[in-house]
C-alpha cells in the first residue's frame, strides 16, 4: 500500500507514476520489470520512489488492487440480468462483461491474471487472494442462489462449481486470442481490434458446455 507521502502528491503526479508502473509491468515479466525504468518514465528520483512504496512487491500489489477496483466498477456499470432470469443467462452476461473489461484494459488484465495463473511473480498466493479467491467466493453465492431457485441441480457442490466456473472463465483470456489468432502483446501495446461476433460465439459455446456438459443432454 502506498505511503501517505504518495497520496499527498498532486493527483496528476500520482497518475503519472502509476501509469508508468502499469506500462512497465504489463510489458515485462515481474523479474524483468525495473523500478529504474518506472522512475525514469515518471521523471522522479529513485529515492522518491521508496518514500512512496516499500518495494517492488508493494507497488505491484497496489496495481493489482487498482485493477480489481477498475474491473468491479466496470462490471457494476453493466446492466446484468438477475439470476432469477436464469442462472446461465446471468452467467453468459457476466462473462461477457468481464471479457469486455479484459479486452478494453489489456494492461490491467496482464497484471491481474499473469501472477496467479503462471507463477510469474514470486508471491502468487498473495495475488491469488486478491483476485481468484474473491471471485470464487462471489460465484459460490451465485451457485447457491441458483440451487435455491431450482435452476441448478440440488446435489451440485457449490465450492467445486464455483472453482470450476471461475478457473475456466479465467482461461478464456488465453483461449480466445489463441483461437482467433490474436497477438496478446500487440493487444497490450495497441489496443484491441476484435471480431466481437466470433467472441460471442465462443462465449455461447462455453456457457452451453457449462450448462449441459460434454456427455450430451439426457
Residue-wise pLDDT tens digits, 106-124: 888 888 876 555 557 888 8
Could you tell me the CA-to-CA distances from 182 to 13, 96, 176, 192, 195 in Å, in that order? 34, 18, 8, 9, 10
CATH numbers and ranges of domains, the chain: 1-54 (1.10.10.60), 60-212 (1.10.357.10)
Place of cell 480489481: 68
pTM: 0.78
Burial class (CB in 10 A: 0-12, 13-18, 19+), 205: exposed
DSSP string, the chain: ---HHHHTS-HHHHHHHHHHHHHHHHHS-TTT--HHHHHHHHT--HHHHHHH-SSHHHHHHHHHHHHHHHHHHHHHTS-PPPGGG-HHHHHHHHHHHHHHHHHH-HHHHHHHHHHHHH--SS-HHHHHHHTHHHHHHHHHHHHHHHHHTTSS-TT--HHHHHHHHHHHHHHHHHHHHHHHT--HHHHHHH-----HHHHHHHHHHHHHHHHH-SS---
Residue 131: is its pLDDT beyond 90? no
| Lowest mean pLDDT across 43-47, 56-60, 117-121 | 117-121
- Which pLDDT does position 207 carry in this prediction? 95
| Count of other CB atoms within 10 angstroms of residue 10 | 8
pLDDT band (50, 70, 90) for residue 215: confident
When the pLDDT of each residue in the chain is averaged and rounded to a whole number, the result is 88
Residue 188: is its pLDDT beyond 60? no
Place of cell 452451453: 208
- Condensed to tens digits (0 to 9), the pLDDT of residues 133-160 reads 888 999 999 999 999 999 999 999 999 9
pLDDT band (50, 70, 90) for residue 186: low
Q: Which residues contact 93 (CB under 8 A, 6 or more apart)?
A: 78, 80, 81
Amino acid at each position: 500500500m502506498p505511503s501517505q507521502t504518495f497520496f499527498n502528491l498532486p493527483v496528476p503526479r500520482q497518475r503519472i507514476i502509476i501509469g508508468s508502473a502499469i506500462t512497465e509491468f504489463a510489458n515485462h515479466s515481474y523479474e524483468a520489470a525495473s523500478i529504474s525504468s518506472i522512475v525514469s518514465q515518471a521523471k522522479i528520483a529513485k529515492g522518491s520512489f521508496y518514500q512512496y512504496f516499500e518495494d517492488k512487491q508493494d507497488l505491484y500489489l497496489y496495481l493489482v488492487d487498482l485493477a480489481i477496483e477498475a474491473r468491479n466498477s466496470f462490471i457494476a456499470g453493466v446492466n446484468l440480468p438477475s439470476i432469477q432470469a436464469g442462472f446461465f443467462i446471468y452467467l453468459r452476461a457476466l462473462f461477457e462483461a468481464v471479457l469486455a473489461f479484459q479486452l478494453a484494459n489489456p494492461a490491467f488484465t496482464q497484471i491481474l491474471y499473469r501472477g496467479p495463473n503462471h507463477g510469474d511473480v514470486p508471491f502468487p498466493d498473495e495475488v491469488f487472494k486478491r483476485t481468484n479467491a474473491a471471485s470464487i467466493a462471489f460465484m459460490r453465492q451465485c451457485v447457491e442462489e441458483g440451487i435455491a431457485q431450482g435452476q441448478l441441480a440440488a446435489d451440485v457442490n457449490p465450492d467445486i462449481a464455483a472453482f470450476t466456473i471461475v478457473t475456466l472463465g479465467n482461461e478464456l483470456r488465453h483461449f480466445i486470442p489463441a483461437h482467433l489468432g490474436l497477438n496478446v502483446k500487440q493487444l497490450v501495446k495497441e489496443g484491441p481490434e476484435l471480431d466481437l461476433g466470433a467472441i460471442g460465439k465462443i462465449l455461447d459455446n462455453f456457457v452451453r458446455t457449462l450448462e449441459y456438459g460434454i456427455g450430451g443432454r439426457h
